[in-house]
Amino acid sequence: MQNPTLSGDSLEVLPKQIHGCLDQNYCELMFSNFSELTEVIFNVHSEESVLSSQYTDDVYAESLPLCALMCLLQKKCCVASFYDKTYMCRLDKSENCCAATIIAVGSRALKRNKYYPTACTECVIFGMSSYKIIEVTATWSEAMNNCTCLGGILAEIETEAESNFITNELFTRNTGATGYWLGGYNFNSDSDLEWISQPNERMPYPNFAPGEPNQPTSEKCLMAITNYNFEWVDALCQMTVAYICEF
């Protein structure tokens, strides 16, 4: 870990710049307010530290709020930790909001309540959304959690144009995947499925294959299935298939 006075990196000298502020009253007020906001922007977990990895940087910070600010200033940081004894701030820049943590006495982990990734590696863009097509197979619940950890959601397709875009992209890739999980689920134990973000509303554009959904009370999860030209079917949630995250 480098001392900020010895580094030219703008991130690491940030605490020095702050405490060298020309208007000390303004600075104290600003960081007093930010200190109060820390637990609004982040969930703070006592006695936890981010696990060191190829994605982590250890930098100096004079306080927990300053460590939180450093994370906010990093484009890919969703999780950080601060060790009170050494003032070490560990920043995880993997874009993974579920980055591994370990028990560490005297350390506190910071996890953003809401993360909006500024970069989306290997994403395709349509309208205001970016989509990451993930070929590693998972159950529906695992896929949903993985998308959340990346700062997104399981894709929710709401228009014909959006559906055509995703379908064309899947045809172009032609990976041989059985299908792709989408963010639909039978929340109400009825004859239909709903989007995760709108569990009490009908889907505005249901692109179901003929005869689907056919067993929605037992097959509660939504899949775009390859054999039906990526039209939608209800499926058993414990199946493991590829999935699409939306940001």
Last residue of a domain, one of 78, 112, 146: 112
- The confidence score (pLDDT) of residue 118 equals 65
**Does residue 119 sit within a domain?**
no
**Does residue 117 sit within a domain?**
no
- The confidence score (pLDDT) of residue 58 equals 97
Rounded to whole angstroms, the maximal C-alpha distance in the chain is 70
- The confidence score (pLDDT) of residue 8 equals 30
Among 232, 147, 145, smallest CA distance to 193 is for: 232
Is the pLDDT at 114 greater than 80? The verdict is: no
| Together in a domain, 79 and 164 | no
The confidence band for 181, taking pLDDT boundaries of 50, 70 and 90, is very high
Is the pLDDT at 15 greater than 90? The verdict is: no
Last residue of a domain, one of 112, 136, 162: 112
Among 57, 12, 5, 242, smallest CA distance to 133 is for: 242
**Does residue 118 sit within a domain?**
no
Alpha-carbon distance values, 109 to 13, 79, 101, 155 (Å): 22, 7, 8, 29
Query: Residue holding tokens 């969930």?
Result: 43
Under 8 Å between Cβ of 244 and 137: no
- The confidence score (pLDDT) of residue 57 equals 96
- Which structural domain range is residue 54 located in? 4-112
**Does residue 86 sit within a domain?**
yes
Query: Residue holding tokens 């309540």?
Result: 113
The number of domains in the chain is 2
| Together in a domain, 216 and 135 | yes
Query: Residue holding tokens 């863009």?
Result: 125
Helix (H, G, I), strand (E, B) or coil at 39: helix
Last residue of a domain, one of 112, 132, 152: 112
| Together in a domain, 228 and 138 | yes
Under 8 Å between Cβ of 181 and 243: yes
Chain segment 40-72, per-residue pLDDT in tens: 789 999 999 999 999 999 999 999 999 999 998
Q: Once rounded to an integer, what is the mean pLDDT over residues 90-102? A: 91
What tokens appear for 53 in the block? 């990895």
**Does residue 180 sit within a domain?**
yes
For residues 112 and 214, which has the higher predicted lDDT (pLDDT)?
A: 214
Q: C-alpha 192: how far from its chain's center?
A: 28
CATH of the domain at 225: 3.10.100.10
| Together in a domain, 15 and 42 | yes
**Does residue 215 sit within a domain?**
yes
| Together in a domain, 84 and 142 | no
- The confidence score (pLDDT) of residue 32 equals 56
Task: Give the gyration radius of the chain's Cα atoms.
Answer: 22
Query: Which residues on neighbouring strands pair with residue 82, listed in sequence order?
Result: 89, 108
The confidence band for 34, taking pLDDT boundaries of 50, 70 and 90, is low
pLDDT mean across residues, the chain? 86
CA 94 to CA 119: how far, in whole Å? Answer: 11
**Does residue 68 sit within a domain?**
yes
| Together in a domain, 234 and 191 | yes
| Together in a domain, 201 and 91 | no
Among 147, 116, 112, 119, smallest CA distance to 37 is for: 112
- The confidence score (pLDDT) of residue 84 equals 95
CATH of the domain at 33: 3.50.4.10
| Together in a domain, 108 and 30 | yes
Chain segment 117-166, per-residue pLDDT in tens: 766 778 999 999 999 999 999 999 999 999 998 889 999 999 999 999 99
| Together in a domain, 145 and 96 | no
- The confidence score (pLDDT) of residue 173 equals 93
**Does residue 171 sit within a domain?**
yes
CA count, 13 A, side-chain hemisphere, 90: 25
